[in-house]
Amino acid sequence: MTKQKTNRRTERLNALKVEIRNVGIARLPSYEELGKKYECSDSQICLDLKQIITELDPHELDSVFTDFYQADLRALEILKTIMQQTTSSQADRIRAVQALVTLQKGATELLEAFTKKQKVADKVQVEQVSYNFEIKKPEDKPKEKLEVYDIVE
């Protein structure tokens, strides 16, 4: 990486940190919008945000978690409203239920990522198991000379 690119990235990381502290990570614009703003790809913005989050101290990380969690709670209230409205169409209610399932999955992943909930072990599916047994005959030991005694009474 050239020195100019390194300096631009450092400036971008610092600007993103300031933006996160000001508005919270959940209220940041999309990766695409941030990419246009900082003149880089949205995948680069994603990498930058991952780096920033891993460098945050635990106190800041707790506020980031709270920010995400509050956004999830607001989304949950919106979905509840849609599902309970009698004016909502059946299609809207189905989409709200699907969004609710996605939200719950995301909330669980969020809790696990921030170690607020113990992660459940990933499901491992075994497709095929094969065993290769090899039976070896023990080597014959040299026969010891056995002495036989007759007992006479």
> 115 — alpha (psi -120 to 50), left (phi > 0) or beta?
left
pLDDT of residue 51: 85
The count of domains in the chain is 2
Lowest mean per-residue pLDDT among 42-46, 68-72, 119-123: 119-123
43 domain residue, yes or no:
yes
Average pLDDT over residues 121-147: 68
Angle of CA points 20, 41, 3, to nearest 5°? 85
150 domain residue, yes or no:
no
Average pLDDT over residues 52-65: 73
Residues 28 and 4 in one domain: yes
Average pLDDT over residues 89-100: 85
Q: Are residues 68 and 26 in contact, defined by beta-carbon separation less than 8 angstroms?
A: yes
pLDDT of residue 36: 92
Q: Which domain holds residue 112?
A: 58-118
Residues 102 and 82 in one domain: yes
139 domain residue, yes or no:
no
pLDDT of residue 149: 62
Query: What whole-number distance in Å separates Cα of residue 24 and Cα of residue 130?
Result: 52
CB atoms within 10 A of CB 16: 20
Query: What whole-number distance in Å separates Cα of residue 92 and Cα of residue 20?
Result: 33
Per-residue 3-state assignment (H helix, E strand, C coil) for 14-59 = HHHHHHHHHHCHHHCCCHHHHHHHHCCCHHHHHHHHHHHHHHCCHH
Residues 62 and 74 in one domain: yes
- The residue among 76, 65, 73 whose CA lies nearest residue 20 is 65
Tokens of 93: 């209610």
Average pLDDT over residues 128-147: 67
Residues 41 and 70 in one domain: no
90 domain residue, yes or no:
yes
Residues 35 and 74 in one domain: no
Average pLDDT over residues 76-83: 86
Query: What whole-number distance in Å separates Cα of residue 77 and Cα of residue 136?
Result: 68
Residues 32 and 9 in one domain: yes
Per residue in 100-119, pLDDT tens?
Answer: 888 888 777 777 766 666 77
pLDDT of residue 37: 92
Specify the higher pLDDT residue, 144 or 95.
95
% of the chain with per-residue pLDDT over 90: 7
Residues 2 and 21 in one domain: yes
